[in-house]
A and B are shown apart, each in its own frame.
Chain A
Amino acid sequence: GQNIDQPTEMTATEGAIVQINCTYQTSGFNGLFWYQQHAGEAPTFLSYNVLDGLEEKGRFSSFLSRSKGYSYLLLKELQMKDSASYLCAPRGAAGNKLTFGGGTRVLVKP
């Protein structure tokens, strides 16, 4: 079975850094995705990790440890527009199916 755990909500100040952790247990593994979802909108792709280590994309970075079943998304220099839900989604070994965590709602305050 699949089990993905991430915090429900986090609050941070504009300009600060926030780290969203995700632990997962999946039957087979072929990469992990992070999506951003603003309220009332569709999820949009943020990052992808398939090998251990850190992937950096501008203000956003994502880390993966396959042996620990652990990933995090790091948001730097927070802006008000970063207020959104962030979804962790490992991909199984077969097909192209993702299993989504419940999402972490990040609230950025001035």
Chain B
Amino acid sequence: DAGITQSPRHKVTETGTPVTLRCHQTENHRYMYWYRQDPGHGLRLIHYSYGVKDTDKGEVSDGYSVSRSKTEDFLLTLESATSSQTSVYFCAISEFQGRSSYNEQFFGPGTRLTVL
């Protein structure tokens, strides 16, 4: 299994509070991703990173920010959590995409966030 950990694994917080989720990898993969998964919506990309300090928005980035200061860590921050951000958050990693290789994404165990 790819070495990906997420912390915390579970968190309950109140509306308006800041929350930071951490993804840590030991695979030295270039790409890192944050997804959220909600019933009826599947996995949706929030932000992704293609290198240290290189990040870009996904399809549901509003209300979220990210940072990547080291290859192994990718942080997701909710500046002011809202109830609509209650979800399961998955981090994923992949290697640089070559034209003749899979470069599949490997997923972390997920973080269940509840915003009251």
Question: Which A residues fall within an 8 A CB radius of B?
Answer: 30-31, 33, 41-45, 48, 87, 89, 95-103
Q: Whole-angstrom distance from the CB of A21 to the nearest CB of chain B? A: 16
Residues of chain B with a CB closer than 8 A to A102's CB: 40-42
Tell me if B79 counts as interface (CB < 8 A to partner A): no
| CB–CB B42/A98 < 8 A | no
Given A42-B107, A44-B107, A45-B104: A97 in contact with B42 (beta carbons within 8 A): no
| CB–CB B31/A43 < 8 A | no
Chain B contact residue count (CB 8 A cutoff): 27
| CB–CB B31/A100 < 8 A | no
Chain B residue nearest in CB terms to A95:
B50
Q: How far is the CA of A48 from the CA of B102 in the complex (A)?
A: 7
Question: Which B residues fall within an 8 A CB radius of A?
Answer: 31, 33, 35, 40-45, 48, 50, 56, 58-59, 90, 94, 96-97, 102-110
| CB–CB A100/B44 < 8 A | yes
| CB–CB A96/B94 < 8 A | yes
| CB–CB A96/B103 < 8 A | yes
Q: How far is the CA of A95 from the CA of B59 in the complex (A)?
A: 14
Chain B residue nearest in CB terms to A42:
B107
Sample 18 A-B pairs with CB under 8 A, ordered by A number. Answer: A30-B97, A31-B102, A33-B104, A42-B108, A42-B110, A43-B90, A45-B102, A48-B104, A95-B48, A95-B50, A96-B31, A96-B94, A96-B96, A96-B97, A97-B33, A98-B105, A100-B42, A102-B40
Chain A residue nearest in CB terms to B105:
A98
